[in-house]
């Protein structure tokens, strides 16, 4: 009987040791118990396709076009080579358009001016309005024998296009001598192709001075 009890105590002792080794100690250290096997690592989920969100593009703020304050803008001269114009005088033999009167326009104001004495080629001027007028009535001569004034209105986008040509010779100057009012009425021309870029080629002979004006209806001031 005593031997049987001893054997029982030995078995119980072994069981207690196994319980401590396999369950109690791993549970205390956070390790998986060997009784139920090691824990399997959790699977990593990899998406088959990750959508890419395109960056938001902010449209640039347009630069506001300044309004015209009503003051004339002087138009200077440039090297004729800028427009591939050959050196030397070039005066196309074209007849100027007769004076036109724009219906509904009560008063014209000067948008840009061209002042000079000699032949030359101007820079580009943009006319940002639908209608404008060219006034070339203020041209003075040094004599009445061989004066010549020729102005070619050129299309800046197409240098081969003569928009309009104005030519004044000695007969024109003699006919308008001492008739300033008639000259202001006759030596003007209206254009109906605004919103465009132009430059002017001027040929002058025996001219003391010229004061040319690009004019627009008064209602366009401040627009």
Tokens of 177: 């001598």
Residue length of the chain = 223
What percent of the chain is helix, strand and coil (3-state, nearest 5)?
20, 35, 45
**pTM for this model (two decimals):** 0.65
Dihedral, CA atoms, 178, 180, 181, 182, nearest 10 degrees?
70
**CATH fit for domain 73-220, picks 3.30.450, 2.60.120, 3.40.630, 2.60.40:** 2.60.120
User: Considering only CA atoms, which of 116, 76, 91, 129 is closest in space to residue 211?
Assistant: 116
Residue 1 pLDDT class (50, 70, 90 cuts): low
Domain boundaries, the chain: 73-220
Give the integer Cα–Cα distance in Å for 15 and 169.
133
Q: Contact, 77 vs 151, CB < 8 A?
A: no
Q: What is the pLDDT of residue 35?
A: 52
Q: Contact, 149 vs 167, CB < 8 A?
A: yes
Phi, psi at 121, each rounded to 5°: -125, 130
Residue 182 pLDDT class (50, 70, 90 cuts): very high
45-53: Cβ within 8 A, 24+ apart: none
Per-residue pLDDT of 8-55, as tens digits, reads: 766 677 777 676 666 655 555 655 555 555 555 665 655 555 556 656
**Section 139-148 average pLDDT:** 91
Per-residue pLDDT of 85-122, as tens digits, reads: 666 545 555 544 455 555 567 799 999 999 999 999 99
Residues whose CB is less than 8 angstroms from the CB of residue 168 and which lie 6 or more positions away in sequence, other chains included? 136, 139, 147, 148, 149, 150, 187
H-state helical runs in 21-136: 25-29
Q: Contact, 79 vs 124, CB < 8 A?
A: no
């Amino acid at each position: 009987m005593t031997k049987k009890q001893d054997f029982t105590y030995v078995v119980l002792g072994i069981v207690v040791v196994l319980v401590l080794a396999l369950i109690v100690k791993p549970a205390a250290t956070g390790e998986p118990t060997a009784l139920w096997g090691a824990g399997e690592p959790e699977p990593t989920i990899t998406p088959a396709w990750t959508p890419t969100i395109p960056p938001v593009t902010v449209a640039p703020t347009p630069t506001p076009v300044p309004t015209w304050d009503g003051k004339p803008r002087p138009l200077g001269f440039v090297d004729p080579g800028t427009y591939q114009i050959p050196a030397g005088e070039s005066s196309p033999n074209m007849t100027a358009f007769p004076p036109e009167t724009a219906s509904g326009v009560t008063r014209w104001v000067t948008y840009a001016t061209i002042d000079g004495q000699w032949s030359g080629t101007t820079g580009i001027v943009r006319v940002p309005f639908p209608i404008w007028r060219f006034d070339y009535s203020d041209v003075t001569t040094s004599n009445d024998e061989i004066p010549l004034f020729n102005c070619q209105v050129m299309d800046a986008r197409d240098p081969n296009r003569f928009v309009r040509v104005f030519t004044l010779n000695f007969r024109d100057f003699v006919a308008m001598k001492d008739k300033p009012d008639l000259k202001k009425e006759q030596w003007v021309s209206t254009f109906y192709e605004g919103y465009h870029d132009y430059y002017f080629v001027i040929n002058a002979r025996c001219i003391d001075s010229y004061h040319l004006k690009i004019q627009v209806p008064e209602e366009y001031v401040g627009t």
